Amino acid sequence: MIEHNVISTALQKPEMMAGVDLRREYFQDSNLGDVWSHIQHMLSKGDIVNFALVAVDMKQQTGKDYTKFLGTICKDSLPASNQSILDKYVEKMGVTHRERAAVAACDVLRDSIANGGQNSIDACIRDLMALSSETKKYTHDSKEKINLAIQEIQNAWDSKGLVGVPTGLKTLDEQLGGFHKSDLIIVGARPAMGKTALAINMMMYGGARCGFISCEQSAAQIGMRLMSLTSGVSLHDLRLAKYSADDDNSAITSGAMQVTQRQIYTNDRPGINNLEIQRQAREWKQKHDIDILFVDYLQKINSSMQHGTKAEAVGEVAVSLKNLAKELNIPVVALAQVNRSVEQRPDKRPMCSDIKDCGIIEQEADVIAMLYRDEVYNDDSNDKGLAEINIEKNRSGPIGDMKVGFEKQLLKFYDVEVRNYDY
């Protein structure tokens, strides 16, 4: 039996165990798991390991005599003859462990469905999805780190610097390299600046498989915006059916076809909470393998817990979205309102500190971008038809601002190649 061979190796050739990622739960036999835990503890202290010393240590710790048990393992089970064979043993144990865990989770899931326990169902689904990432390696030597870095550089070279999920805006992609996996990206602005429009543009023109949690816009409204973007017919004219003649009908039909070819999945449930978002995102990831999740908007999401203040509730939602990004290994883009106080300043461009309700948002976010359109405040603005995207925080690169075009009738953003950023 492989488990006995591995313990025999640990007892007779403990030096081979130094680089092995072997976990207690990999052992189906709990007694062998206990033995490995004691061996692991002794190795971590630099103690000498053999079956006699392990037996002594275990008797001191548990009061139970393991001498005969360990002696039988050493006598009847051959240790691995080389490191490659040991690694294969451990890999097989890991696979078997995940199979057992999947079966156990499915059993719990079946019972939960019978009893109507939604929280248990969510926990089981999370556990099942987590099993797929258990094989990820977390420890690396210097050579492995350099090889991983070289691979990242090669990927960036091959993709011309776009290593994340495309945003649909070349200017923004060049600065951020796209939206990166496991990142929480916050896009903040005052109302009527175009936060939702920017998210919809990114979903339509980024080319990725998207999930969209919409707390303000209905699915029909989102569909209308997408059709306006792709047809070139203004949102106002579409909504009131004021378009004319065959040309517009043809453009609308063509635009609708473009939208139907995109993989954009929407949940427009009002009053959705953070646990429901997690549930929906996991479903989209499992069924459609979404590349990115958009949430519109952060302060509209209800917390699943009771909190004394709105700031505490929003903070919990922000933490849960960051954890969700890491769990699913996708970027999560959350729109956020900023405080009204910015409108009392001569320069009304929002900053990180203006994000409404909670400083935890700023702590959790990997990227914070602020959206600003000067023409909203100044009728004689020199920047009519332009929007500013100001990167206020970027854990992995430069901050600064850039200007993009904004076509108000279509709520469409586009590149104009104006930028100003620094590290």
Single out the residue of 205, 170, 168, 165 nearest to residue 185, CA to CA: 165
CA distances from 106 to 11, 29, 93, 350 (A): 36, 21, 20, 48
- Asked whether 390 and 208 are in contact (CB, 8 A), the reply is no
118 shares its domain with 172: no
pLDDT of residue 358: 67
Q: Which of 116, 131, 146 is a domain's end point?
A: 131
| Same domain (yes/no): 322, 371 | yes
Q: Is residue 140 part of a domain?
A: no
At 423 the pLDDT is 39
Residue 146 lies in a domain: no
pLDDT digits (tens, 9 = 90+) for 377-392: 888 888 888 999 999 9
pLDDT given at position 384: 87
pTM of the model: 0.66
120 and 192, same domain (yes or no): no
- The verdict on 240 and 185 lying in the same domain is yes
pLDDT attached to residue 119: 61
Please give the tally of structural domains in the chain.
2
The verdict on residue 350 lying in a domain is yes
Distances (CA, A) of 305 to 124, 274, 322: 20, 9, 17
pLDDT band of 28, cuts 50, 70, 90: confident
Q: Which two tokens stand for residue 293?
A: 């999740």
Same domain, 228 and 324: yes
Report if residue 145 sits inside a domain: no
- H helices of 232-273, in order, are 235-239, 245-260
At 83, list the tokens: 């490191």
What percent of the chain is predicted at pLDDT more than 70? 84
The reply to whether 216 belongs to the active site is yes
Residue 198: pLDDT over 90: yes
Give the CATH number for residue 242. Answer: 3.40.50.300
Asked if 233 and 351 sit in the same domain, the reply is yes
Residue 151 has pLDDT above 80, yes or no: no
The answer to whether residue 337 is domain-embedded is yes
Could you write out the DSSP letters of every residue in 130-163? HHTTTT------HHHHHHHHHHHHHHHHHTTT--
Q: Which of 406, 400, 380, 374 is nearest to 190 (CA)?
A: 374
On the CB side of 239, CA atoms within 13 Å amount to 11
pLDDT tier, 139 (very low <50, low <70, confident <90, very high otherwise): low
pLDDT at 315: 83
Using the predicted structure, report yes or no on whether residue 212 has a pLDDT greater than 60: yes
Share of the chain above pLDDT 90, in %: 16
Q: Is residue 183 domain-shared with residue 323, that is, in the same domain? A: yes
Q: Decide if pLDDT at 335 tops 90.
A: yes
pLDDT digits (tens, 9 = 90+) for 397-420: 788 888 999 988 889 999 886 545
Report, as an integer, the average pLDDT of 296-319. Answer: 79
- From 113, 131, 149, the end of a domain falls on 131
- Contact in structure between 314 and 357 (CB atoms under 8 Å): yes
Identify the pLDDT of residue 116.
58
User: How far apart (Å, rounded) are the C-alpha atoms in residues 410 and 403?
Assistant: 18
Q: Is 93 left (phi over 0), alpha (psi -120 to 50) or beta?
A: alpha
- Do 121 and 186 lie in one domain? The reply is no
Question: What span, in angstroms and rounded, lies between the C-alpha atoms of 286 and 289?
Answer: 6
Closest CA to 176 of 365, 374, 410: 365
In the set 91, 99, 152, 216, the catalytic residue is 216
Q: What is the arithmetic mean of pLDDT over 53-70? A: 84
Based on the domain organization, do 87 and 179 belong to the same domain? no
Are residues 166 and 126 part of one domain? no
Partners of 210 in beta bridges: 264, 292
Q: Quick one: 35 and 117 in the same domain?
A: yes
How far apart CA 9 and CA 141 sit, in angstroms, is: 24
**CA 160/CA 158 separation, integer angstroms:** 6
Q: What is the pLDDT of residue 366?
A: 92
pLDDT at 70 over 80: yes
The tens digit of pLDDT for each residue in 171-188 reads 898 888 899 988 999 999
When mean pLDDT is compared across 120-134, 167-181, 218-232, 307-321, the lowest value belongs to: 120-134
115, two tokens: 């009893």
Residue 98: is its pLDDT beyond 90? no
Range of the domain at 109: 2-131
pLDDT, one tens digit per residue, over 349-386 is: 888 888 876 678 888 889 999 999 999 888 888 888 89
Nearest to 68 by CA among 58, 55, 79, 77: 55
Which of 109, 131, 153 terminates a domain? The answer is 131
Asked whether residue 197 carries a pLDDT value surpassing 80, the answer given is: yes
**In which band, very low, low, confident or very high, does the pLDDT at 295 lie, cut at 50, 70 and 90?**
very high
Range of 54-68, 116-130, 307-321, 324-338 with top mean pLDDT: 324-338
| Distance between CA atoms of residues 199 and 193, nearest Å | 12
- Average pLDDT on 179-207 reads 91
Least confident of 15-29, 64-78, 391-405: 15-29
Q: Which residue has the higher pLDDT, 136 or 323?
A: 323
- 221: pLDDT strictly greater than 50: yes
Please report, for the domain that includes residue 45, its CATH number: 1.10.860.10
**Which letter does DSSP use for residue 180 in this model?**
P
Lowest mean pLDDT among 62-76, 245-259, 330-344: 245-259
Average pLDDT of span 102-120: 69
Q: 362 and 278 share a domain?
A: yes
Task: Give pLDDT, residue 391.
Answer: 92
Mean local confidence (pLDDT), 109-133: 62
Mean residue pLDDT across the chain: 82
In whole angstroms, give the CA distance from residue 208 to residue 275.
24
